[in-house]
Structure 1
Amino acid sequence: MPRTERIKSENAIYHIMIRSITEVPLFKKNKDKDIYLEQMRYAQIMYGFKVYAYCIMSNHAHFIIDSNGADISKIMHGLNFKYAMTFNRIHNRHGHVFQDRFKSKIVDTDRYLITLSAYIHNNPLQISGYENCPERYKYSSLKVYLGLEKDDSGLLDEAYIMQMMGPSVSKARDRYLKLVYMCDKEKLKNEIEFEDEKTEYRSERKILVRDFEPEKVIEFISQETGIDKMMIYVKNSRNTKAVRALAVLLMRSLCNLKIKNICEVLGNITESRVSKLCSIGVELVSTEDRYKDIVQQFVSQQVS
């Protein structure tokens, strides 16, 4: 039977669920969970999507992802392919890791969004030792929601959901924890009432445009770095590697270009080299203060 077409929208928030094939845990060790989150953060820097909640179990995981103008299939297929390759290498195995495609459902109301996040954070209650303290489970975003830990990775935006939970941070956290403990899922759906009051949480949805011309990216990178734009087309130049890497990252993120399309733009460059440059670009944005806001700077300049 042919697969049904996935329902998706560039402006959507998704409930994403991944699951392992029957005979293999998706995450054998905690290190595997760390790796998946690290690789998701890498993909997030490249595509600019937002993660509102997550919980990773041994054989499956749930995420709430705001695609923020990007293609959710491109995000998840790339992420899961990379993780499967890493998992097989680490555990000395071959073959499939994931059970079929990732599952996705569009979150179409705020009520559903909050209910879903509580359901996801409710998962650790099934684990021995966490029946009365799901907030202690390491691989769930609940601990960040409740202010028990900070998300130093930059992966999570918990404020978008928590700003809907009450007139202050402390009241929102208290109310949210009570919501998570409600095991009756029908009651969970009916209990929550929204308030329109301002809160101390601040998070807005601003969808990134993804149809910029690559020539605009090259001009911008040239202006920002002081490197002649013709040098960005020069292959194997040590002096321009970082500049080319930033250009590739922005083209991958904001121009809706595949790797082969970027090869055509830059000319005389292999797909493997483009992938490597994209990785270097992600590293630069992650570690260099002068580049950390370069995506936002480019978008602001183009729309102003």
Structure 2
Amino acid sequence: MHLTPRPYGLNNPEGVYFVTFTVVFWLDVFVRARYKEVFVQSLKYCITHKGLSLHAWCLMSSHAHLIISAQRPKKANLSDIIRDLKKFTAAQIIKEIEAGPESRQEWLLDKFRFAAGKNSRNTQYQFWQQNNHAEELLTNNFTYQKLQYIHQNPLQEGWVEEAYHYLYSSARDYSGLPGLVPITFID
């Protein structure tokens, strides 16, 4: 039986990928500093302990864009890293929501519970959409396009006037400023 590769997939273990993690129903969860901090600390942990190479990132209110690969020579499995990152951040952010204070606590938990009810893989809550829309970056032009797209997101939303002003993005690193998460620059 011949299997055709999925249009969005992590088919090349040596590849560099553009991925998007989206909260179910595009809920604006990352409007609280403590939820953003969970995501930032989780990225740092995956870089240090799981073999993630983070080349670019931007955390928006309902989603995150990343350019990632597996560290070499660790031979880390990128699918496993993504699974663990999403599972951990989901559990931690839901704990934070439950612990409060969160003015939208009941509403958010109800939405996560509803999403879980539609997915046999989840028991109580589903935080992230399952698909990551992984796209392998095969050309310099496509890589540059995705890098610009990631860094321009906060400008498109009108949050900042310059990409490097946004704290939750690698645009700071690419502008020579210290960022929140260590990155591996794209050549």
TM-score of the superposition, structure 2-length normalised? 0.74
8 Å contact 2:20–2:64 — kept in the other structure?
A: yes
User: Which AA in structure 2 matches 1:79?
Assistant: L
Q: 1:88 to 1:129 in 2, by over 3 A?
A: closer
Task: Look up the match of 2:127.
Answer: 97
Q: Secondary structure at the match of 1:103?
A: coil
Q: Pick from 31, 43, 47: which aligns with 1:44?
A: 47
TM-score of the superposition, structure 1-length normalised? 0.47
Task: Look up the match of 1:17.
Answer: 20
For 1:83 and 1:33, locate their aligned partners in 2 and report how far apart those are by CA, in whole Å: 10
User: Which AA in structure 1 matches 2:37?
Assistant: D
Q: Pick from 145, 170, 178: which aligns with 1:150?
A: 178
User: Which AA in structure 1 matches 2:174?
Assistant: Y
Q: Pick from 127, 132, 135: which aligns with 2:157?
A: 127
Deviation of the 1:78 alpha carbon: 0.5
Single out whichever of 20-29 and 68-77 deviates more from structure 2. Answer: 20-29
Q: Which runs of 5+ in 1 are unaligned?
A: 162-304
8 Å contact 1:54–1:64 — kept in the other structure?
A: yes
Deviation of the 1:157 alpha carbon: 1.7
Deviation of the 1:43 alpha carbon: 1.4
Deviation of the 1:11 alpha carbon: 0.4
* 1:138 and 2:141 correspond: no
For 2:180 and 2:168, locate their aligned partners in 1 and report how far apart those are by CA, in whole Å: 14
Q: Which runs of 5+ in 2 are unaligned?
A: 99-108, 114-124
Higher helix share: 1
* 1:82 and 2:110 correspond: no
For 1:108 and 1:83, locate their aligned partners in 2 and report how far apart those are by CA, in whole Å: 29
Deviation of the 1:70 alpha carbon: 2.1
For 1:96 and 1:26, locate their aligned partners in 2 and report how far apart those are by CA, in whole Å: 13
Deviation of the 1:38 alpha carbon: 0.8
Deviation of the 1:129 alpha carbon: 4.1
Spell out structure 1 runs of 4+ moving beyond 4 A. none
- Tell me the number of residue pairs that the alignment of Structure 1 and Structure 2 aligns: 154
Q: Secondary structure at the match of 2:25?
A: coil
For 2:67 and 2:180, locate their aligned partners in 1 and report how far apart those are by CA, in whole Å: 19
Higher strand share: 2
Task: Look up the match of 1:67.
Answer: 70
8 Å contact 1:14–1:67 — kept in the other structure?
A: no
For 2:127 and 2:50, locate their aligned partners in 1 and report how far apart those are by CA, in whole Å: 24
Q: Deviations over 1:151-177 (max 9, x none)?
A: 464x2123x33xxxxxxxxxxxxxxxx
Q: Deviations over 1:69-99 (max 9, x none)?
A: 3222100110100011001111014511112
**CA RMSD after TM alignment:** 1.9
Greater RCO (Cα-Cα under 8 Å, separation 6 or more): 2
Deviation of the 1:49 alpha carbon: 2.4
User: Which AA in structure 2 matches 1:157?
Assistant: T
Task: Look up the match of 1:112.
Answer: 142
8 Å contact 2:10–2:78 — kept in the other structure?
A: no
